[in-house]
Copies of this chain bind each other. A is one copy, B any other.
Amino acid sequence: MSARTSDSSREIPEATVARLPIYLRALTTLVEQGTATCSSEELAAAAGVNSAKLRKDLSYLGSYGTRGVGYDVDYLRYQIAREIGVTQDWPVVIVGIGNLGHALANFSGFRSRGFRVVALLDADPERRGERVAGVDVRDFADLDAIVREHGVAIGVIATPASAAQDVADRMVEAGISSILNFAPTVISVADGVDVRKVDLSIELQILAYHEQRKQAEATTRVASEVTA
């Protein structure tokens, strides 16, 4: 028997995967408000998307709604959490405990959303011994042991850009196969390793581009009104 497609064979489009966490969050808010059911229209509004898109996204997971009624908030929330994989807890290591690393280590959203910081690592001996949010800062050289011990699959890079590629290489070597990179540099990894980046400067520059356009637009409008 050929197991060509895996048993949970539904292939979920990347664009949909990126939105599932948003739906999950919106549903969690609804649960906290005591809402039992909601329509695709309501949930879409809460998530800031088109309702047709929401329904299509959910249809990739299965048929969890009831026509004429809507979705059971708690049930749908569980189904999405299961699909994403956050019903289990993911151990995470953070490398580079400077300004940003401290903020990340203190970030409560990790724990509450299915992630657990099992180690904080830094190359600088000065940093060590410090305790951030209940976790000791340890030597970067301990990476292998920690990954093996906790079965860590996800690593966060918060070092300067110059160190990011090296850290990524060491992570992959240690067995990590998903990396979230905060350093402003492109890192390359072997096939099968996922890298996502969070880049403040890029986001600001995108905003600046549109801002410039808006301002140019406003200027030419005024100019043309004057000449009219």
Where the two chains meet, the residues of A that have a C-beta atom closer than 8 Å to any C-beta of B are: 3, 6-8, 12, 17-18, 20-22, 24-26, 46-48, 83-86, 90, 92, 99-100, 102-104, 106-107, 109-110, 113-115, 153-154, 177-180, 184-186, 188, 192, 194, 196, 198-217, 220-221, 223-224
Contact = CB atoms under 8 A, between A and B. Distances in A.
A34 to B, nearest CB: 17
Binding site of A, secondary structure by majority: helix, strand, loop or mixed?
helix
A161 B186 CA distance: 30
Given A186-B46, A217-B6, A196 B203 contact: yes
A206 B196 contact: yes
A18 B206 contact: yes
Nearest to A109: B201
Contacts of A24: 205
